[in-house]
Amino acid sequence: MCLAIPAEVTRLLPDDTAVVSIDGVSKEISVALIENLAVGDYVIIHVGYALTKIDPEEARRTLELLRELSTEGQGVVQ
């Protein structure tokens, strides 16, 4: 399974890294693959890399879906 999780960029760091918030949990990731990234942008992350920027509304819907699945499955994306 290859779930890709939306995350909000909260801080840009040197060396193409950034801190993102995934539903309230902070994580440092590589943003080497994305140009012109700003705090407040949403990105899809996978195995520690931001893969692409996404629309905030789309990110919100995806996070809602993941929460719904988490409630149903109790543990998939807890």
CB of residue 14 vs other proteins: minimum separation in angstroms?
A: 12
* Burial readout 19-52 (b: 16 or more C-beta within 10 A, e: otherwise): bbebeeeeeebbbeebeebeeebbbbbeeeebee
* Rounded least distance, CB 38 to other proteins, Å: 17
User: Interface with other proteins includes 65 (CB under 8 A)?
Assistant: yes
Q: Is 73 left (phi over 0), alpha (psi -120 to 50) or beta?
A: alpha
Shortest spacing between CB 62 and other proteins, in angstroms: 5
**Binding of other proteins at residue 37 (CB under 8 A)?**
no
12 sits near other proteins (criterion: CB under 8 A): no
Using the minimum distance from each CB to other proteins, give the nearer residue, 39 or 65: 65
- The count of chain residues that interact with other proteins, using the rule CB under 8 A, is 37
Tell me how far apart the terminal alpha carbons of the chain are, to the nearest angstrom.
16
